[in-house]
Chain A
Amino acid sequence: GQQLNQSPQSMFIQEGEDVSMNCTSSSIFNTWLWYKQDPGEGPVLLIALYKAGELTSNGRLTAQFGITRKDSFLNISASIPSDVGIYFCAGPVDGGGADGLTFGKGTHLIIQP
């Protein structure tokens, strides 16, 4: 089945630093989604991308849909303590029907004071 590979698995950064993470797949996706999960909570949708090459921002977050349609990137600028959590990329199962999403294994973001 489809697999999404996220990297890095964990990030330890200082407050104020910029963050970059990415997600790759062996198959093409028509939609890329980025979620964030706070400790003890369910994932929350941050950004949705629909076209190859698309660049979309949500506050300090910027995500890009790779032109090959097999990857996506998420950047966070000037990190703050509340950015701590797990970031997941996701895409529709097998091309976009209503069978849910397939998720990457997540990038743990840890911010050191």
Chain B
Amino acid sequence: DVKVTQSSRYLVKRTGEKVFLECVQDMDHENMFWYRQDPGLGLRLIYFSYDVKMKEKGDIPEGYSVSREKKERFSLILESASTNQTSMYLCAIGVAGQGGEKLFFGSGTQLSVL
């Protein structure tokens, strides 16, 4: 089974803080993704990575950065958290197969920025 672990289920931070969201996989998958989920907006792609030290912007990268120093770990960074970044953050890994890539998600981190 594919296992994606997000380090925190709930986080509360203050405006202006630097926030790290961590995601770890237990297999040797290359593709990892960060989405945010907001009511009425569905899942929106923030950043993804094909391999170590590689990153690509998704649809809404503003206000975020990422780090992939090791293959198994993909970190999402909020340099200076703002209240509009209060959201559910979902990490996923991509598994190639018939018909293309499928995503497998972690349990999510609910971030509240006060």
Contact = CB atoms under 8 A, between A and B. Distances in A.
A96 B103 CA distance: 13
**A90, A92, A100, most chain B CB atoms within 10 A:** A100
Contacts of A43: 43, 90, 105
Interface stretch (B13-21, B62-70, B94-102): B94-102
A61 to B, nearest CB: 16
> In terms of DSSP, what is the predominant structure of the interface of chain B?
strand
Nearest to A89: B42
> In terms of DSSP, what is the predominant structure of the interface of chain A?
loop
B106 A98 contact: no
Contact of A98 (B90, B96, B107): B96
B101 A98 contact: yes
Contacts of A1: 59
B8 to A, nearest CB: 13
Contacts of B94: 98, 100
Contact of B104 (A30, A41, A45): A45
**B4, B102, B108, most chain A CB atoms within 10 A:** B102
B41 interface: yes
Interface in B65-109: 90, 92, 94, 96, 98-108
Interface string A8-50: 0000000000000000000000110100000011111100101
25 contacts: A1-B59, A31-B100, A40-B110, A42-B90, A43-B43, A43-B105, A44-B105, A45-B104, A48-B98, A88-B43, A96-B99, A96-B101, A97-B100, A97-B101, A98-B50, A99-B48, A100-B31, A100-B48, A100-B92, A100-B94, A101-B101, A101-B103, A105-B41, A105-B42, A106-B42
Interface of A: 1, 30-31, 33, 40-45, 48, 50, 88, 90, 92, 96-106
